[in-house]
Amino acid sequence: MPYTFDRIDPARTAMIVVDMQNDFVAEGAALQSKQALAMADELAQTLAFCRDNGIKVIYTAHVHREDGSDMGLYDDLYPPIDQRAALVDGTPGSEIFPTLAPAPGEHVIKKHRYSGFFATDLDLVLREWGIDSVVISGTTTENCCHATARDAMFHNYKVAFLSDATGTFDYPDVGWGAMSADDVHRGTLSILAFSTAHVMTAAEFRGLVTGQGAE
């Protein structure tokens, strides 16, 4: 059976907020995930809970240099990235969505691939803090959140994945059929729940921290 948390220890747990940037969240953004915008308020409340209960919060931001020197294949995959219309480091679109802005002293880990662990110092920071469990929130469910959760598990962190504080977008048909955001999200949660993480709601997460069950 997949593992579960009986309780979440605030001193040994970090909340990873994956890529909740203007270019993914803001209305009309080139790479907008409407589910991410829809859950932003829930996530903001959850981050406030984390801070109030001593759980460290750390962010990732998917960015690329304007000259493309860290681009890899992303310019082949996403026209807005190829055209430098999104995720350009140092631009307003690359910044964290305002209602989710980091508190003073919180770190934003810049990354250039889906996973927050790939070619970054995220693992180093978490280990310095004595963290053994992580909570995944953000966007997109199936790409950057999924990849970060998988890499966290590969690094021997126990993973909680928030079903209502992650989100994605509708997928067009590129030869295998279109998929709605709801279907992409639900399918990813099912896969993660079997193979990678304890998938839970934000309320269930808060209950496991306080020892009171789901609120």
- Is residue 94 within 8 A of residue 83, CB to CB? The reply is no
| pLDDT for 1 beyond 70 | no
- 89 vs 3: which has the higher pLDDT: 89
Backbone angles phi, psi at 159, to 5 degrees: -115, 125
CA-only gyration radius of the chain, Å: 16
Domain boundary assignment for the chain: 10-210
Instruction: Read off the pLDDT of residues 157-186 as tens digits, 9 standing for 90 and up.
Output: 999 999 999 999 999 999 999 999 999 999
The CATH H-level (homologous superfamily) assignment of domain 10-210 is Isochorismatase-like (3.40.50.850)
Q: What is the mean pLDDT of residues 37-57?
A: 98
Burial class (CB in 10 A: 0-12, 13-18, 19+), 137: buried
pLDDT band at 214 (very low <50, low <70, confident <90, very high): low
In this prediction, residue 102 carries a pLDDT of 98
Instruction: Read off the pLDDT of residues 73-89 as tens digits, 9 standing for 90 and up.
Output: 999 999 999 999 999 99
pTM, two decimals, is 0.97
